[in-house]
Amino acid sequence: MELKVAEYNDYDAIAQLHTRSWQKYYQGILKQDYLDDEILNERRAIWQTRLTNPPFNQHILLMEDQGKLCGFICVFGNHDFERGSMVDALHVDPQYQHRGIATALLQGIGKWLEHYFSDAGVYLEVLIKNQQAVEFYQHIDGERIKERKWTAPCGTEVDEAVYAWSSPSQLLTALAVHDSLCLDAS
């Protein structure tokens, strides 16, 4: 597997993986017609725009297996004055889950943030009903600092939680502990 920085020509693969992820994990949460008919074109427009002229604080990493996209992560460094850098998206293809890809992507982003935005915290937003993701963030010592409503692109209001780490260093330490526990269990 190879970790690489996203380039413009990756936008369609990212959009397709993002779509598949939402279609699987947001069933019954977001409107079905949105998940069936609208999401792919919307995700394509978003990722094409993000990769056309990226802001200086955006960083997108991909994990590929022989050229196939297995997962991706997007972060905006120092996005919020109070919370710091925001992990905007983290998705792993369901066929590649439970192989350490999310951890590797977060480690790559954590190192980038430590280099460029070391004084800022790190946070992300996750749908509360996305239990698999919630459990993962709790397992890597994310502190649940807030709950709020999010208006999805389809207009549905859903409950989300904000998980945070005080710094990229704290996130990297939590990921290292997580990695060692996984190795101990095998």
DSSP code per residue over 18-60 = HHHHHHHHTTTTS-HHIIIIIHHHHHHHHHHHHHHS--TTEEE
CATH code at position 104: 3.40.630.30
What is residue 184's predicted lDDT score, i.e. its pLDDT? Answer: 33
Q: Which domain holds residue 143?
A: 2-185
pLDDT along the chain (186 residues), means of 10: 96 97 91 92 96 95 96 96 94 92 96 96 95 94 95 92 97 84 38
What is residue 183's predicted lDDT score, i.e. its pLDDT? Answer: 38
What is the rounded radius of gyration, in angstroms, for the C-alpha atoms of the chain?
16
Residue 173 φ then ψ, to 5°:
-65, -45
Q: Is 10 left (phi over 0), alpha (psi -120 to 50) or beta?
A: alpha
Residue 172, SS3 per DSSP: helix
∠ CA 60-128-59, rounded to 5° = 10
- C-beta separation of 105 from 90 below 8 A: yes
Q: Domain count of the chain? A: 1
What is residue 137's predicted lDDT score, i.e. its pLDDT? Answer: 96
What is residue 81's predicted lDDT score, i.e. its pLDDT? Answer: 86
